[in-house]
Amino acid sequence: MSDTYTPPEIWAWDEGNGGRFASINRPTAGSTHEANLTKGNHDFQLYSLATPNGAKVTILFEELLEAGIPQAEYDAWPVDILKGDQFGSEFVSLNPNSKVPVLLDVSEEKPVRVFESGSILIHLAEKFGKFLEPSGPARTETLNWLMWQMGTGPLVGGGFGHFFAYAPAKFEYPINRYTMELKRQFDVLDRQLAENRFVVGDEYTIADMALWPWFGEISRGDLYQATKFLQTHKYEHVARWTQDVFARPAVKRGRIVNRAWGAPEEHMLERHSADDFK
């Protein structure tokens, strides 16, 4: 592999290219095999993994339960993305984009599929009337920051995360390019948190839940192991917010649901009740 690349006149898929994720990356959508999803007893069936996008949703579920809303009980089932579980026929019927997380809400007469993590956060927050104002400027500001996070995700994960941590070889240009952008994003967030306890103000919202599994976990050193490389300690307001959010019991629980890596005490492949944390 050379340092320079001349694009061909017509792009063709190299099935072996892609590093760690080569076995599941492809340029077409749709299912690759027939597979049914396991169902539990609760109104909410979550199919996910403890990636940052998956952790957003399990943190919200645990925050709703912490707030005394038993109707928010849920079953969380693991999706092994390296084995291609997300291309099973029933999973694709819930999420045609074949990404985790996806939620099946059977609390109403007609089941509702909810895919894209931001959409799931809004769906649950509105359903239970928590962590998102029903109207007004505070709601708009929360959605501003939620959409900002959704926009930064591909740059943080697919950009910096891929080239820094997962690409089959490290190259200066993409790492420098995405490091610069990630540090700019940290600066955006740090400036916002300099004037606010939480992202939107004094109230903890789904904006914090969306941003923390990305920026908070990078700041803590649990994502991409890049804290020294990025010098995240310089973002003092992000560091303060990271610790404040991590101190919440629901966050400690939610971040490990559907997790099969890291310290053994943080492994929880499935989650079906509060007793699973004991």
Residue 135 CA, distance from chain mean position: 25
Q: Which residues contact 156 (CB under 8 A, 6 or more apart)?
A: 182, 185, 214, 215, 218
DSSP-derived 3-state class of residue 154: helix
Residue 159: its H or E element: none
Does any domain span residue 45?
no
Cβ(51)–Cβ(245) below 8 Å: no
**Positions in the chain whose pLDDT score sits under 50:** 1
Does any domain span residue 190?
yes
Question: What pLDDT was estimated at residue 133?
Answer: 98
Helix spans in the chain (H): 52-66, 89-94, 117-128, 137-153, 172-193, 206-211, 217-220, 227-230, 236-246, 249-254
Cβ(268)–Cβ(228) below 8 Å: no
Residues written for the chain: 278
Does any domain span residue 114?
no
Bridge-based pairing state of the strands 44-48 and 74-78: parallel
- Domain span at 196: 137-254
Question: What pLDDT was estimated at residue 1?
Answer: 45
Question: What pLDDT was estimated at residue 21?
Answer: 75
Number of independent structural domains in the chain? 1
Q: Which two tokens stand for residue 22?
A: 């080569």
Does any domain span residue 267?
no
- When computed from its CA atoms, the radius of gyration of the chain, rounded to whole angstroms, is 19
CATH of residue 230's domain is 1.20.1050.10
Question: What pLDDT was estimated at residue 192?
Answer: 98
Question: What pLDDT was estimated at residue 5?
Answer: 83
Question: What pLDDT was estimated at residue 56?
Answer: 98
Q: Which residues contact 142 (CB under 8 A, 6 or more apart)?
A: 132, 133, 200, 205, 206, 207
Does any domain span residue 193?
yes
Question: What pLDDT was estimated at residue 3?
Answer: 65
Question: What pLDDT was estimated at residue 274?
Answer: 96
Question: What pLDDT was estimated at residue 4?
Answer: 81
Cis peptide before 101 (omega within 30 of 0): yes
Does any domain span residue 58?
no
Does any domain span residue 222?
yes
Question: What pLDDT was estimated at residue 22?
Answer: 72
Q: What is the pLDDT of residues 119-150, one digit of tens each?
A: 999 999 999 999 999 999 999 999 999 999 99
Q: What is the pLDDT of residues 43-83, one digit of tens each?
A: 999 999 999 999 999 999 999 999 999 999 999 999 999 99
Does any domain span residue 94?
no
Buried b (16+ CB within 10 A) or exposed e, 199-215: bbeebbbbbbbbbbbbb
Question: What pLDDT was estimated at residue 18?
Answer: 65
